[in-house]
Chain A
Amino acid sequence: MSKFFIYFILLVSIFYTGCIEPFSFDVENVEAPLVIESYISNVSYNESVKFPSDGRFFTTTLRFGQNLSGKGQNAEGAQVRLISENGEIWYYTEIHSTPGTYVLLDPDFKAIAGMNYKLHITLKNDDQYESEWESFEENNNRMGNVSFVETERYETQFRPGDASPVIRSVRGINLTVNLPEFNSEEKSYYKWEYESTWIFVAGRLSRENPFYRCWVLGNSYLSQYNIAEVNSGGFDQELVFINVESNERVAENLSVLVKQFRISKEYYNFLNELNEQSQAGNIFAAPPYNLKTNYKSINKQKPVFGFFSVVHEEARRIYFSEDDLSYPISNSTEEMCKSAIPPYQPGDPCDNCLNYSLGGVATLSKPFWWTY
């Protein structure tokens, strides 16, 4: 009987023990591309402060890609220039604390509608790269109000005790932005980015304790972006779903700066493919392909990647808390912290809000723009 069982297992193995194992190709002499992240908009640093936000300068980051097992390097010591079609040139300055990051330190610089710009880069070794001419148009750029609607969605979740994933309804809010109606024969393309900030309180401390309340500047929470292809406006565009259950970020106050970019069709396609390519492959996946770039190497045949975009930018800030919901929920970090059983671990954010690090960086300083 046992022999039969072994035999049986062998047979069943056709559908199961067909194995998947790591494999490596012998890839040699592949030159890693220079990766360029850069954009400019119609909003200068000084104007971005009035979103309101901490403000931002236009930056360009340069680093090299890597082979599949290696690590990329920042491209330091480069000369980065922004050139307009009028021949004006703006130089970026490298920030030495973050090598490979170059900032256009003109607080009033902003792109002008209809003007063509390109980015020119010269590396230390004299390799030169240049983007195509890019511009934005002064139409269909208006941004309506940002609001939220209560919603729920179904998610597949594993929870302790579940033998298999379970479909569950999750309550939350959808951030939406109103796109004012416009008439155009051509489609318009948009990108929305989010900057989140929320209050976190150390639940085991008294409210008077200086480390009780922190403002967390989100760097990975809501770090995604959304893009859309729009024929005409006049509707509310759903942006991002925020789970309100078991989410300490909405326990006190959550503020989201929604930035709307009117982008070119080419940039839209680039972002769309970037998103598609990030999906994991399988044996039935379409053959892979290289993404398009609007940079090129101009004095040598060097690989380069990225998309220099010139966009129209507008932003709205919204605040949200549990009290804004039509139904009660409890995300009290105080209760959560107090219900924990000692001994407490060192570095527990319940004992010091600065220890909090889930998706952002905590600070005791209240942002100057925080008005809620």
Chain B
Amino acid sequence: MRIILALYFLLGMSGIYPLAAQSGNIVTITEADNGKRLIDLLDEIEHTNNIDFITDRREELEAYTVTGVTESLYLGEFLEFYLKPLGLVAVKPEDNIYLFISKDIQKSFGNRKSNFLILNSGKNTKSATIKGIVADAADQPIPGAQIVIPELGVGAISAVDGSFSLNVKKGIYKIRTTFIGFDSTAYIVAFSPLGKKKAVDMMMLPQSIHLEGITITAKASDNNVQSQITGVNSMNIETIKELPSFMGETDVIRSLTTFPGVSTAGELSSGFNVRGGDVGQNLILQDESIIFNPTHLFGFFSAFNPDIVNGADLYKGGGPANYGGRISSVLNISLRNGDAGKYNINGGVGLVSSRLTVEGPIQKSKSSFIIGGRLSYVNWMINALNNVKLQNSEASFRDLTGKLFFTLNDKNIVSVSGYTSYDNFRLNSDSTFSWTTQNFNVKWDHIFGDRLSSKLNFSNSNYKSTVDNQDEINGFIYYNSINNLRLNYDLVYAIDEKLKTSFGFDINQREIEPGRLESTDLGMNIVPVDLNDQHSAETSVYLQNDYDITSSLAISAGLRFSNFWRYGKDRLFDYDYTQLDGRYPTIIDTLTYAPGEIISYYGGLEPRVSLRYSVSEDFSVKASYYRTYQYLHLISNTVSVTPQDYWLSSSPHLKPQKADQWSVGLFKNLNKDKFELSAEGFYKDIYDAIDYIEGADITLNESMEAGLIQGKGMAYGLEFMAKKNYGKLYGWLSYTYSRSLRRFEATEEYQTINDGKLYPSVYDQPHNLSLVMSVMLNPYVIFSTNFSYSTGRPITIPISKLSYEHYLSVLTYSNRNEYRIPDYHRLDISLTIKDRPKQNKVMYGEWVFGIYNLYGRKNAYSVFFNSKGSAFKMSILGTVFPSITYNFKI
């Protein structure tokens, strides 16, 4: 078979010359090489130029003879031309190494060098050992991961330190790693005496397959376009730590709000809002346990210890089908395993809080522990100041997070984690607000074989909020709490490389104390109130399939069937909604339920589907649809979100909320993934969204459900993001235009808000912009800055006043949420100075200097009104806040 090179050039293909030249600019093929067998020529080049051509199709190459070379060709040009008819392409993963692979493989793996692992091996040996480490994005080893070479049908399980080894016949193989909770990862492995690698590092990313979301992981610079993960903005935990922080405390939640579509209800407000949703519409998991309040100190700090957090995935839709129960987002925070190889101590000392984490092996390479705590010491500073108001104030928090990890054998891994936190806060009053979280989790990962694995998880989440007033006359203690038991089981079956299916169930049992008021010993005027506890169960079964239909088109489809039961012991009222008793519908009957007796049932199918089409290697288009149900509701009828907000179960009078969300996005990477650009649009319908009747009194009210009304919610928006992944200057700019609207229109006037017209929800912030930028001044000094801007949130204000009888000032109010508090903007900066590495140095540290709110903007935390209607803007952080923190690792 002869090929006429001259024709090639006549056809004007010389346009690829520069590219070809780059890949072989030393070796040239000349007219003198005409007539040689191709394989002989390649051998000759190998010998004379110390080059290795790796191919598993040598026999086919032997049939070719070089001809038609009329002028000197660079090696790259020559190979490209000659390999094309064979369906092969040459990639150059290392200097002097050319790997001949099929076009299909090239299409899947691209030309990125990091996708091709060339292991060093002897030239004349027929077999070789593939050794390596499986680790996650934070370089934490992943034990129990499956490493498989499908072509050979061989595989291994990574040990507790993530290591593995496989003895194979030398060749070119696709090697794939899978592990529960992570995306499967694949590389091409080959062997060469010129290879520089002795072992391979297999990096895995947390699973976020085909879902809208933000994955705070690392290194996946082309993740948003190339991988199965769709709609992803990536940021690793180290980058979070580099962000300017408030008082030096790294804050996962605040970092999330720099991404498009994520916002906060107010400065330092508890929780966060995703795509116009309520704070209570986010499912927050830490190692599978539900976190009901993700903040410390009224939102000043996040509840998550950054030294133990492994990574965080935020799904701006419903999440994969194994997640459910919330209609806005899923934030999944995983804790890392302790180091099974050696003991480490790390921590940080700040001016308002400090933290310490200890980790190490229990049984080397088999099991480990990690435990870390944080403690604030604001009180001594408050008390030290000779001020009456401050001396009657206190604020503190502490938390402790721990995890045990055991590798029982190659197929079984067990981990146990726990989390406890306590907060209290008192500001110039007799009332102390406090809240506690106590979570516990046991997880068992089991591997059935190369393709089937499972995860069984049991967790308990307990949240309790208290207001303690020690007034001598009106002293009281108020409680509300929620306890959630969760059992979930997940089976993952990888049918082949292109199709993976997972299925399982999720069972939750809840006890809610909606409110209890007790008098203190001195509180003579307080009449005790104890609302009935609410008992409920929520179960679901699900099936999720992720299928790469072609190399360009992928689909991820899931179906979840959720069920909810509210059951006794309980006592509920029946209402006549057409007859009012004051503001509330009239109670016409009292219904008593025996223990275990079903009060109400709800259920529904929750389909989810996401499509990704890769237009090119660095450009993809994605679209998705989610339906989600929420049976648990966060009730927050105060001007600000507070820890005292409480949860309610759905009931005969309180339907579950349901959401349908559609989204479409474009994702483009530039300059070898150095830059990422994305634009996403979304539209969300919320059914049975919750708002409150005029004058609702929902605290310690047995008829509280009657004070709630349900209507239609809708949110839509456009999210843009531009990101520079690496370089001396890196960071991102995100902007979101979105609206979050409500419409409450009913036959009964009291159930109608703003005459049934659309009105903005409290979380409606049309413009939201974040600029995050870091400059690496040198490898050990990083300067970071963060600028945030958002439209002021809606508010209802007094618009006129009048006197009536002996009341000199009776206020009349605007339509609900008709006005807005002032816009919010803030600039923070920080400087991180790391120790330079030195031999035999035991402790490494870094200083973090920060200034929060650099230009001292008095952003409104809230605007409230006195009885005369005068407005007052309250700025919690109305000035510049410098901070200094020292972090260390031993």
Closest Cβ–Cβ distance, residue B467 to chain A (whole Å): 10
Residues in A whose Cβ lies below 8 Å from that of B862: 283
Contacting pair B801 A37 (CB below 8 A): no
Contacting pair B802 A20 (CB below 8 A): no
Mask: chain B, 860-890; 1 = CB below 8 Å from A; 0 = not: 1111111111111111111111110000000
> Which B residues, 792 to 810, have Cβ-Cβ distances below 8 Å to chain A?
796-807, 809-810
Contacting pair A19 B804 (CB below 8 A): no
Taking a contact as CB atoms closer than 8 A, the residue among B427, B796, B804 that contacts A37 in the complex is B804
Contacting pair A35 B803 (CB below 8 A): yes
Interface status of A291 (Cβ within 8 A of chain B)? yes
Complex-state Cα separation, A9 to B384, whole angstroms? 10
Spot the interface stretch: B154-162, B562-570, B694-702: B694-702
> Which A residues, 236 to 274, have Cβ-Cβ distances below 8 Å to chain B?
265, 269, 272-274
Taking a contact as CB atoms closer than 8 A, the residue among A18, A273, A286 that contacts B878 in the complex is A18
Residues in A whose Cβ lies below 8 Å from that of B881: 10-11, 13-14
Interface status of B57 (Cβ within 8 A of chain A)? no
> Which B residues, 684 to 726, have Cβ-Cβ distances below 8 Å to chain A?
692, 694-698
Interface status of A68 (Cβ within 8 A of chain B)? yes
Taking a contact as CB atoms closer than 8 A, the residue among A8, A66, A154, A167 that contacts B802 in the complex is A66
Residues in B whose Cβ lies below 8 Å from that of A98: none
Contacting pair B385 A288 (CB below 8 A): no
Q: Do A20 and B873 form a contact, CB below 8 Å, given A12-B381, A66-B801, A68-B800?
A: yes
Select from chain A the residue with minimum beta-carbon distance to B797: A25
Contacting pair A18 B876 (CB below 8 A): yes
Residues in B whose Cβ lies below 8 Å from that of A64: 802
Select from chain B the residue with minimum beta-carbon distance to A11: B351
Select from chain B the residue with minimum beta-carbon distance to A24: B871
Contacting pair A285 B389 (CB below 8 A): no
Interface status of A277 (Cβ within 8 A of chain B)? yes
Interface status of B812 (Cβ within 8 A of chain A)? yes
Contacting pair A269 B799 (CB below 8 A): no
Contacting pair B473 A269 (CB below 8 A): no
Complex-state Cα separation, A284 to B800, whole angstroms? 22
Complex-state Cα separation, A341 to B875, whole angstroms? 49
Complex-state Cα separation, A224 to B863, whole angstroms? 30
Taking a contact as CB atoms closer than 8 A, the residue among A63, A278, A283, A306 that contacts B874 in the complex is A283
Spot the interface stretch: B446-454, B593-601, B635-643: B635-643
Interface status of A223 (Cβ within 8 A of chain B)? yes
Select from chain B the residue with minimum beta-carbon distance to A21: B873
Q: Do A288 and B870 form a contact, CB below 8 Å, given A14-B247, A21-B858, A67-B800?
A: no
Complex-state Cα separation, A220 to B858, whole angstroms? 41
Contacting pair A23 B871 (CB below 8 A): yes
> Which A residues, 30 to 86, have Cβ-Cβ distances below 8 Å to chain B?
30, 32-33, 35, 37, 63-68, 72
Taking a contact as CB atoms closer than 8 A, the residue among B644, B696, B812, B882 that contacts A303 in the complex is B812
Contacting pair B871 A27 (CB below 8 A): no
Contacting pair B879 A12 (CB below 8 A): no
Residues in A whose Cβ lies below 8 Å from that of B346: none
Residues in A whose Cβ lies below 8 Å from that of B385: 9, 12, 16
Interface status of B393 (Cβ within 8 A of chain A)? yes
Select from chain B the residue with minimum beta-carbon distance to A34: B802
Interface status of A279 (Cβ within 8 A of chain B)? yes
Taking a contact as CB atoms closer than 8 A, the residue among B697, B812, B858 that contacts A286 in the complex is B697
> Which A residues, 134 to 182, have Cβ-Cβ distances below 8 Å to chain B?
154, 156, 163-164, 167
Contacting pair B866 A281 (CB below 8 A): yes
Residues in B whose Cβ lies below 8 Å from that of A278: 807, 809-810, 867
Select from chain A the residue with minimum beta-carbon distance to B880: A10
Complex-state Cα separation, A269 to B697, whole angstroms? 13
Taking a contact as CB atoms closer than 8 A, the residue among A32, A167, A288 that contacts B798 in the complex is A288
Closest Cβ–Cβ distance, residue B838 to chain A (whole Å): 30
Closest Cβ–Cβ distance, residue B881 to chain A (whole Å): 7
Q: Do A32 and B802 form a contact, CB below 8 Å, given A280-B867, A282-B864?
A: yes
Taking a contact as CB atoms closer than 8 A, the residue among B351, B644, B822, B872 that contacts A22 in the complex is B872
Interface size on A, residues (CB 8 A): 64
> Which B residues, 809 to 844, have Cβ-Cβ distances below 8 Å to chain A?
809-814, 816, 819, 822
Contacting pair B802 A164 (CB below 8 A): no
Residues in B whose Cβ lies below 8 Å from that of A25: 797, 819, 871
Interface status of A17 (Cβ within 8 A of chain B)? yes
Residues in B whose Cβ lies below 8 Å from that of A21: 858, 872-873, 875
Interface status of A289 (Cβ within 8 A of chain B)? yes
Residues in A whose Cβ lies below 8 Å from that of B882: 7, 10
Interface status of A339 (Cβ within 8 A of chain B)? no
Number of A-B contacts defined by CB within 8 Å: 192
Contacting pair A11 B352 (CB below 8 A): yes
Q: Do A33 and B381 form a contact, CB below 8 Å, given A15-B395, A22-B872, A223-B806?
A: no
Contacting pair A286 B796 (CB below 8 A): no
Residues in A whose Cβ lies below 8 Å from that of B698: 286
Residues in B whose Cβ lies below 8 Å from that of A289: 694-695, 813
Closest Cβ–Cβ distance, residue A342 to chain B (whole Å): 37
Interface status of A97 (Cβ within 8 A of chain B)? no
Interface status of A305 (Cβ within 8 A of chain B)? yes
Select from chain B the residue with minimum beta-carbon distance to A306: B804
Classify chain B's interface size: 35 or more
Select from chain A the residue with minimum beta-carbon distance to B644: A284
Residues in A whose Cβ lies below 8 Å from that of B638: 283-287
Q: Do A18 and B874 form a contact, CB below 8 Å, given A68-B801, A289-B695?
A: yes
Interface status of B583 (Cβ within 8 A of chain A)? yes
Contacting pair B800 A66 (CB below 8 A): yes
Q: Considering residues A25, A223, A284, which has the most beta carbons from chain B within 10 angstroms of its beta carbon?
A: A25
Interface status of B634 (Cβ within 8 A of chain A)? no
Q: Considering residues B351, B797, B798, B875, which has the most beta carbons from chain A within 10 angstroms of its beta carbon?
A: B798
Interface status of B576 (Cβ within 8 A of chain A)? no
Q: Do A19 and B812 form a contact, CB below 8 Å, given A10-B880, A154-B472, A279-B867?
A: no
Interface status of A326 (Cβ within 8 A of chain B)? no
Contacting pair B639 A284 (CB below 8 A): yes
Contacting pair B813 A35 (CB below 8 A): no
Contacting pair A12 B639 (CB below 8 A): no
Interface status of B779 (Cβ within 8 A of chain A)? no
Contacting pair B692 A287 (CB below 8 A): yes
Q: Do A288 and B796 form a contact, CB below 8 Å, given A14-B881, A22-B870, A65-B812?
A: yes
Residues in A whose Cβ lies below 8 Å from that of B865: 281, 288
Closest Cβ–Cβ distance, residue B556 to chain A (whole Å): 41
Interface status of A371 (Cβ within 8 A of chain B)? no
Contacting pair A30 B800 (CB below 8 A): yes
Select from chain A the residue with minimum beta-carbon distance to B863: A23
Complex-state Cα separation, A191 to B850, whole angstroms? 60
Residues in A whose Cβ lies below 8 Å from that of B876: 14, 18
Contacting pair B861 A27 (CB below 8 A): no
Contacting pair A305 B802 (CB below 8 A): yes
Residues in A whose Cβ lies below 8 Å from that of B473: 154, 156, 167
Contacting pair A23 B872 (CB below 8 A): yes
Taking a contact as CB atoms closer than 8 A, the residue among A10, A13, A277 that contacts B810 in the complex is A277
Q: Do A283 and B871 form a contact, CB below 8 Å, given A10-B879, A10-B882, A32-B800?
A: no
Interface status of B390 (Cβ within 8 A of chain A)? yes
Residues in A whose Cβ lies below 8 Å from that of B300: 14
A to B CB contacts below 8 Å, 25 in the list: A11-B881, A18-B874, A19-B878, A21-B872, A21-B875, A23-B872, A35-B804, A67-B799, A67-B801, A72-B802, A72-B803, A154-B472, A164-B388, A224-B806, A269-B583, A277-B810, A281-B864, A281-B867, A283-B639, A283-B640, A285-B864, A287-B638, A287-B692, A305-B810, A306-B804
B residues apposed to A, CB below 8 Å: 247, 300, 351-352, 378, 381-382, 384-385, 387-390, 393, 395, 427, 472-473, 581-583, 637-640, 642, 644, 692, 694-698, 796-807, 809-814, 816, 819, 822, 858, 860-883
The 5 nearest A-B residue pairs measured at CB: A65-B802, A23-B873, A289-B694, A18-B876, A269-B582
Could you list 17 further interchain pairs (A-B, Cβ under 8 angstroms) beyond the known A11-B247, A167-B473, A286-B637? A11-B881, A14-B300, A14-B881, A18-B878, A21-B858, A22-B873, A24-B871, A30-B800, A64-B802, A65-B801, A66-B802, A67-B801, A164-B388, A278-B809, A285-B864, A289-B695, A305-B812
